[in-house]
Structure 1
Amino acid sequence: MSQDPPTDDWLDAECRRLLDFGRHVVHPLGGAAWLDENGAPDLSRPVHTWITSRMVHVFGLGALRGVEGSASIATAALAGLRTTLRDAEHGGWFGAVDAGGAPVEETKACYAHAFVMLAGSTAVVAGLPGATPLLEEATDTFLHRFWDDSLGRVVDEWDRAWGAPMPYRGLNSTMHSVEAMLAVGDATGDRAWHERAARLAGLVVDLAASYDGRLPEHFGPDWSVDLELNRDRPDDPFKPYGATVGHGLEWARLLLHLEATLGDAAPAGLLDTSRLLFERAVTDGWDVDGAPGFVYTTDWAGQPVVRTRMHWVAAEGIAAAAALHRRTGEGGYADRYAEWWAYVVEHLRDAARGSWHHELDTANQPQATVWPGKPDLYHAVQATLLPRLPLAPSLASAVALTGR
């Protein structure tokens, strides 16, 4: 039985409701605080660069859409990227700092730096003060430290002083680098960033074909696949064992954004790979263990490993289904889009306290084993915006262009 999708007015109201939940996010040190279940800053936790960058991004989008208070929140969080979280001695950004402003993570991560580029891009499009020099520094750091032009791939981590790269290579940082590169290219007009994104995406096209749509996430320094990493701690929030269902959905969408951005210059196979990734994620991950919802990870035969339902996976499923429907016009994608929004409203959306529950157990009851609190608005806010926008340009530029 088909379900009705949410209206544009409902999506607009939900976006505003999510942003209202995060209105207290600015940390006293600068940057963005980790938010608890009620939207209050949890000052016992570090200030994270990736959370700060995501909050600059979503409140920058709010500013572009005229949501009251968004510009000031985005500007205050952006100031944390320019001061508290920036390594003034060695350059680049710490992963996080403690209550005294001291770094709690000594490595410099591509994942965090990709989000700084995304934040800078959105801030530039939104016209926030300090955005242009931040984006210039972020892109320069990324090109000199994380972009391996000889391979068309990214280095995952360095030590604090940039003395040596760590041996690990990962698909998560690759994915968010593609997202950031598309945004940087749109914000600056420098299409070289789009071309770099295409080179990175070629890895995913090859992996999807080789592993039947279940993307390996972890690699050695020579990009040899490591299928066993973290088997002993499979619910790792950033490097879980096995195939990550939500990343298959996220890649399915990003490949379509890349195709739309490059037009006739797009590499072959992006739509076919998007379809493969989407169908594999749905087959392996959706409603496979007696209750609705996406499992977090599977093994390499497609059997669930971590059955926890993460809010971000449902959000990426919604966005991927919307993108594929926009690209193909096929009704099956529209049906999934409506079905997953109905699931979000019934199980994830917290109508009493705000935002979405970040994590549910196998009976779709809230739990907090991986993600305590509600630190992240990024996936949910984007799920309310992406279905109303064209596949290109990227999100901030598209909001600025359309006013939606």
Structure 2
Amino acid sequence: MTDLDRLLRFAARSRLPEGGFGYLGDDGRVLPDRGQETWIVARMTHVFGLAQLTGREWWDGPVRHGVEALAAGPLHDGARGGWYASTAGDTPSDDGKAAYVHAFVVLAAATATATGAPGGRALLDEALGVWQTRFWDDTEGLAVEEWDAGWSRLSDYRGANANMHGVEASLAAADALGDDDPRAARLRGQALRSTERLVHGWARARGWRLPEHFTAAWEPLPEYNRDEPAHPFRPYGVTVGHLFEWARLALHVRAVTPDPPSWLLEDAVGLFAAAASRGWAVDGHTGFPYTLGWDDRPVVRRRMHWVLCEAVAAAETLATVTGEATYGALARRWRAHGEARFADPATGSWHHELTPEGAVAADTWAGQPDAYHLAQMLLLPGRPVRGSVAAALH
């Protein structure tokens, strides 16, 4: 049994009989007090769809299960459109409409469409409609962040994280729609515009120290969440894993952009080099810290599994694109570190958070809810670089 098969068996335990997928604890059981969270349901649906695209049997059922939950479950606002962030039973516990959440619904729907899952294309059409009309700001070339449940009040906050996943989702949706659909070219163009502003603009101008938080006028907020630096989605400072993730996404954008600008590869190399040189063992312990300050010193020293997964994935992608052996060597070295430190033989997944010394921690992430980063890391080696992981598997 491969590492991916063991991970999938663990992830399958998140399936809820009433619909959707739950948040898994360290013992592989759903944490009942978490309710349902749209990002979890969407990511699991995406992962099971990727498994199906590899030719593995059985995973079509979980994909349909996820599509049905997103299309008609309590997370879906059938009256006003869009998706709540989370529910407790049949009641929204967080009724905001967030770009981060909707990006993952688009991603799940795109992968489900690629598998041919019943209802996948209808879900994709609906999710793209919401993304384009509610979140995409064509003037800025970026997505806004969060609305209230009735789409009447828009938050003043703007974020790079939601835009990063918007790029990923837009590329996946374009691949799923196919080149004959005019939306595909538009979505790829939007992904390029967002990458240009955030990576080629703000990150490059700051020596690859990407600001994550902005005002409504897209002015950086460098002190945002200084008093909550380990926030799971909006941490203070420079998020090391996002530098790796943006490096990889820039290469996915490059793969589907006609006559791509040279900066896509140059910036991917720059982001990767900055994250690797400033992050690895910066505090004297092996591994990457969660965040760095603007002076490149570690702020949150905890090691997150997703950061390492994105480092490996970026190294693998750069190795494929450039043919340079150095990237492949780093990918192998970092993956070996993950298998030695993070891998949990009892579950088949990886612990989500460790201390710098390697002990299991839970300051930011309780349990092992997320198969998304690890599954994609395991699937990328040996695949061609396309707009999306699903397209590479196809």
TM-score, normalised to structure 1's length? 0.94
Task: Write the mapping of 1:255-270 to structure 2, written as runs, cut at 5 A.
Answer: 255-264=250-259, 266-270=260-264
Letter in 2 for 1:251: W
CA positional deviation for 1:284: 1.7
CA positional deviation for 1:150: 1.4
Query: Does the CA contact (< 8 Å) of 2:309 and 2:377 recur in 1?
Result: yes
Query: Does the CA contact (< 8 Å) of 2:253 and 2:387 recur in 1?
Result: no
**Residue 64 of structure 2 corresponds to residue 75 of structure 1:** yes
Counterpart in 2 of 1:388? 382
Counterpart in 2 of 1:56? 45
Q: Which moved more, 1:84-93 or 1:136-145?
A: 84-93
Task: Give the superposed CA RMSD.
Answer: 1.1
Task: Describe the SS at the equivalent of 1:202.
Answer: helix
Counterpart in 2 of 1:91? 81
1:225 to 220, 223, 242: 220
Letter in 2 for 1:355: S
Counterpart in 1 of 2:203? 208
Distance across 1 between alignment mates of 2:48 and 2:264: 31
Distance across 1 between alignment mates of 2:51 and 2:204: 38
1:195 to 183, 189, 200: 189
**Residue 147 of structure 2 corresponds to residue 158 of structure 1:** yes
Task: Describe the SS at the equivalent of 2:13.
Answer: coil
Query: Does the CA contact (< 8 Å) of 1:16 and 1:67 recur in 2?
Result: no
Counterpart in 2 of 1:247? 242
1:312 to 292, 298, 306: 306
Q: Displaced runs of 4+ in structure 1, greater than 4 A?
A: none
CA positional deviation for 1:66: 2.7
**Residue 357 of structure 2 corresponds to residue 343 of structure 1:** no
Distance across 1 between alignment mates of 2:201 and 2:12: 42
1:279 to 273, 276, 287: 273
**Residue 352 of structure 2 corresponds to residue 363 of structure 1:** no
Letter in 1 for 2:79: E
CA positional deviation for 1:387: 1.8
Query: Does the CA contact (< 8 Å) of 2:7 and 2:347 recur in 1?
Result: no
1:298 to 284, 289, 292: 292
Letter in 1 for 2:212: E
Letter in 2 for 1:198: L
Distance across 2 between alignment mates of 1:47 and 1:270: 37
Letter in 2 for 1:284: R
CA positional deviation for 1:271: 0.9
Stretches of structure 2 that go unaligned for 5 or more consecutive residues are 179-183
Distance across 2 between alignment mates of 1:37 and 1:388: 31
CA offsets per residue over residues 57-82 of structure 1, 9 Å max, x none? Answer: 00011112232321111211221101
1:327 to 321, 326, 345: 321
Distance across 1 between alignment mates of 2:134 and 2:315: 35
CA positional deviation for 1:268: 3.6
Counterpart in 1 of 2:106? 117
Distance across 2 between alignment mates of 1:68 and 1:376: 22
Distance across 2 between alignment mates of 1:336 and 1:289: 19
CA positional deviation for 1:161: 0.3
CA positional deviation for 1:194: 0.5
Query: Does the CA contact (< 8 Å) of 2:291 and 2:300 recur in 1?
Result: yes
Count of equivalent residues: 387
CA positional deviation for 1:130: 1.0
CA offsets per residue over residues 372-404 of structure 1, 9 Å max, x none? Answer: 11100000000011122111141112212xxxx
Query: Does the CA contact (< 8 Å) of 2:245 and 2:311 recur in 1?
Result: yes
Task: Describe the SS at the equivalent of 2:307.
Answer: helix
CA offsets per residue over residues 319-347 of structure 1, 9 Å max, x none? Answer: 00011111111122111111101101100
After superposition, the Cα gap between the structure-2 partners of 1:242 and 1:393, relative to the gap in structure 1 and judged at 3 Å, is closer
Counterpart in 2 of 1:4? none
TM-score, normalised to structure 2's length? 0.96
Bigger relative contact order (CA 8 A; separation at least 6): 1
**Residue 175 of structure 2 corresponds to residue 186 of structure 1:** yes
1:167 to 156, 169, 187: 156
CA offsets per residue over residues 91-128 of structure 1, 9 Å max, x none? Answer: 10000101x21111121000000000000000000011
Letter in 1 for 2:244: L
Counterpart in 1 of 2:35? 46
Distance across 1 between alignment mates of 2:281 and 2:325: 20
Distance across 1 between alignment mates of 2:364 and 2:214: 23
Q: Which moved more, 1:241-250 or 1:364-373?
A: 364-373
Distance across 1 between alignment mates of 2:262 and 2:221: 27
Letter in 2 for 1:285: G
Query: Does the CA contact (< 8 Å) of 1:29 and 1:101 recur in 2?
Result: no
Counterpart in 2 of 1:379? 373
CA offsets per residue over residues 295-337 of structure 1, 9 Å max, x none? Answer: 0000001000000000000000000001111111112211111
Letter in 2 for 1:122: T
Query: Does the CA contact (< 8 Å) of 2:3 and 2:348 recur in 1?
Result: no
Counterpart in 2 of 1:5? none
Letter in 2 for 1:152: G
Counterpart in 1 of 2:137? 148
Counterpart in 2 of 1:130? 119
CA offsets per residue over residues 342-385 of structure 1, 9 Å max, x none? Answer: 10110011112321000001101111111111100000000011
Distance across 2 between alignment mates of 1:144 and 1:267: 28
